[in-house]
Amino acid sequence: MNSKFLKKVNQNKPYFFQAWAIVCIAILSFIGFKSFLPKKLFPESSNNKNVVVDSLMLDAVAEGGNLSEEDTLSNKTIKFVSNPLGIQFSDEKFEQYKGYQYLIPFFEKLYQLETNKKGKARIAYFGDSMTDGDMIVQDVRTQFQSIFGGEGVGFVNITSESAGSRGSILHEYSQNWKAQSYLKTKSPLRSFGVNGSVFFAKDTANTTWVKYKAGRNRFSTTLNNPTVFYGSSKNKKACIRQIIGKDTIYKKLSPNSILNATQVAGDVKNVKVNFINADSIPFYGFNFDNGKGIHVDNFSSRGNSGLPLSTFNVDLMNAFQQKLGYDLIILQFGTNVLNYGSLNYTWYERKMTSVVNHLKECFPGAAILIISTADKSTKYDMQMKSDSAVVPLTLAQKRYAVKAESGFVNLYTLMGGDGSMVKWVENVPVRANKDYTHFNHRGAKEIAQLIYKQIDTGYQEYKRLRAIATKKAKPKKVVKDSSLPVKNDTINE
């Protein structure tokens, strides 16, 4: 038996050596051609099943990916003009640009809240997957409310892809809702709401419902004044049904205006609302706030580049502005813009300048704050390093902030600059995920503190400048000296 086995091995020797020779040639060939291959051949991968890149960005890349224009801002000093109160921040070099001058209307609202303990302020915080599940935003909200007052989690969608991961509010809903988002639908049945979505009760044969329960976050342990927002419709039969204890309460919906609001209940811990005969009515979401202090709405959308905000209907957004009253619009995008096309982001700069100007038309009187992309790491030569696209994109974001007269937070610099994401992922305690892109809860809280600190730095400087301007504007009292002789204007003849 052994002799037969040895004979078989001897017969296969030529094939064995041929196979081994092929493997050796392949290895040597790879080593030889390695120097000619691009360094960024195999980027660090992550689970992107839930990430949808909006089509507007892909179209913009195709249209303007090769366009470029001369950079006229990098070595420029940004000069500001004083506002009606005579307040003027110091001129800034482009490298250190923060644009506090353009946040003065928001700072004044904070000043009134702090000094007079009256009024209210509201922030719309638009973002991508960085703020998914209320990450970062919930901590920014807590920071503001701890200083300026206010309770409530703000505006919440009817349905949400991040409902299961959000802790600031517990959110459930029936499966017979039809949802349309500005990331996936170019021609919606009705205009998108302020959250970039519109919802319809899809099946009237089964009850369509939504349920919310207060989370454990500070200042959000109660659902304050649950109010549903919806659009116009010819449907006059719709109503909502709510069960509170042993009581069943019905409320008729009145979809007569471009935007309508119906308060469902007072302050409660949880609420479940059934929608009866509500087909054809566009619903936008629920708002939870106590009507005073400061409120922060999280409008996050996975895969959003920021460009879909250009699809907002001005009339509808004006109606939202009248009812909710936004004083600051925060835009935190960039994660989904990195690595598309070349390192030339002129196309994005141009498009986002238009987006910001459109938002100013949608929300008159609101200040705009741009937050840059965070650091992101990619594998180069088998080592994780800052992606080569991060700095060019950050500069493009700063340029459109300047051009559109907006405030600016350089998140890339705040978190440590070059190589910082590697440290956030690998150092202890861990503050970011292994995709080298997104922060964990600990990191998100720290990022929120960095963002709030920069806003507060501007606010403290505003108070100082305001005090100086007020003092200068104060008329001086004229004091008469009784010791001086009174002038007699009578002419003696």
Query: The domain spanning residue 172 has which CATH number?
Result: 2.60.120
Q: What local confidence, expressed as pLDDT, does residue 9 receive?
A: 45
Do 125 and 285 form a contact (C-beta atoms < 8 A)?
no
Is the pLDDT higher at 124 or at 488?
124
Using the predicted structure, report yes or no on whether residue 205 has a pLDDT greater than 90.
no
Domain at 425, CATH number = 3.40.50.1110
Among 243-247, 360-364, 468-472, whose mean pLDDT is lowest? 243-247
Average pLDDT of span 7-33 = 55
Shared domain check, 458 and 447: yes
At residue 38, does pLDDT exceed 50? no
* For residue 18, pLDDT beyond 90: no
User: What is the C-alpha separation between 331 and 337, in angstroms, rounded?
Assistant: 14
Are 447 and 300 in a shared domain? yes
Residues 190, 258 within the same domain: yes
Q: Are residues 300 and 449 in the same domain?
A: yes
In which domain, by residue range, is 103 found? 38-150+291-472
CA 378 to chain centre: 24
Question: At residue 472, what is the residue type?
Answer: K
Q: Is residue 10 part of a domain?
A: no
Domain assignment of residue 8, yes or no: no
| Secondary structure (H, E, C), the chain | CHHHHHHHHHHHHHHHHHHHHHHHHHHHHHHHHHHHCCCCCCCCCCCCCCCCCCHHHHHHHHHHCCCCCCCCCCCCEECCCCCCCCCCCCCEEHHHCCCHHHHHHHHHHHHHHHHHCCCEEEEEEEECHHHHHHCCHHHHHHHHHHHHCCCCCEEECCCCCCHHHCCCEEEEECCCEEEEECCCCCCCCCCCCCCCEEEEECCCCCCEEEEEEECCCCCCCCECCCEEEECCCCCCCCEEEEEECCEEEEEECCCCCCCEEEECCCCECEEEEEEECCCCCCEEEEEECCCCEEEEEEEECCCCCCHHHHHCCHHHHHHHHHHHCCCEEEEECCCCCCCCCCCCCHHHHHHHHHHHHHHHHHCCCCEEEEECCCCCEEEECCEEEECCCHHHHHHHHHHHHHHCCCEEECHHHHCCCCCHHHHHHHCCCCCECCCCCCECHHHHHHHHHHHHHHHHHHHHHHHHHHHHHHHHHCCCCCCCCCCCCCCCCCCCC
* Least confident range of 123-127, 361-365, 407-411, 467-471: 467-471
| Confidence class for position 247, pLDDT limits 50, 70, 90 | confident
CB atoms within 10 A of CB 466: 17
Higher-pLDDT residue of 190, 489: 190
Q: What is the mean pLDDT of residues 184-198?
A: 94
pLDDT higher than threshold 50 for residue 37? no
- Tens digits of residue pLDDT in 345-363: 999 999 999 999 999 999 9
Same domain? For 411 and 461 the reply is yes
Q: How does pLDDT run across 71-80, given as a tens digit for each residue?
A: 777 778 999 9
Do 371 and 262 fall into the same domain?
A: no
- Of the pLDDT bands very low, low, confident and very high (cuts 50, 70, 90), residue 56 is confident
Question: How far apart are alpha carbons 369 and 364 in whole angstroms?
Answer: 15
Dihedral (CA of 153, 231, 165, 390) sign: negative
Same domain, 342 and 457: yes
pLDDT, residue 329, reads: 98
The model's confidence at residue 337, banded by pLDDT at 50, 70 and 90, is very high
- pLDDT of the residue at 246: 76
- For residues 145 and 271, state if they share a domain: no
Considering only residues 73 and 201, tell me which one the structure prediction assigns the higher pLDDT: 201
What is the Cα–Cα distance from 412 to 377, expressed in whole angstroms? Answer: 12
pLDDT band at residue 278 using 50, 70 and 90 as cut-offs: very high
Q: What is the pLDDT of residue 85?
A: 81
Q: Is the same domain home to 165 and 278?
A: yes
Per-residue pLDDT band for 68 (boundaries 50, 70, 90) equals: low
- Residue 46: pLDDT band with limits 50, 70, 90: very low
Where is the domain boundary, 227, 260, 289? 289
pLDDT digits 0-9 by tens, 210-238: 999 999 999 999 999 999 999 999 999 99
Domain contains 22: no
327 and 438 within one domain = yes
* Interacting residues of 105 by C-beta distance below 8 A, sequence separation 6+: 327, 365, 366, 367
- Banded model confidence at residue 492, pLDDT cuts 50, 70, 90: very low
pLDDT bin (cut points 50, 70, 90) of residue 162 is confident
Does residue 97 share a domain with residue 168?
no
Q: What is the pLDDT of residues 100-116, one digit of tens each?
A: 999 999 999 999 999 99
Residue 364 belongs to a domain: yes
pLDDT over threshold 70, residue 385:
yes
Task: Please report the pLDDT score of residue 476 as a whole number.
Answer: 61
- Are 364 and 447 part of one and the same domain? yes
Q: Residue 25: what pLDDT?
A: 63
Three-class SS state of 183? coil
Mean pLDDT of 334-354: 89
**End of a domain among 245, 266, 289?**
289
For residue 4, is it within any domain? no
The answer to whether position 477 is within a domain reads no
Is residue 11's pLDDT more than 60? no
Quick one: average pLDDT of 469-479? Answer: 73
Domains identified in the chain, total number: 2
**Within a domain: residue 297?**
yes
Per-residue pLDDT at 35 exceeds 50: no
- Residue-wise pLDDT for 448-465, tens only, equals 999 999 999 999 999 999
Let me know if residue 18 belongs to a domain.
Answer: no
Of 229, 260, 289, the position where a domain reaches its end is 289
Question: What is the pLDDT of the chain when averaged over all its residues?
Answer: 87
Angstrom CA distances, 66 to 60, 70, 144, 401, stand at 11, 13, 42, 22
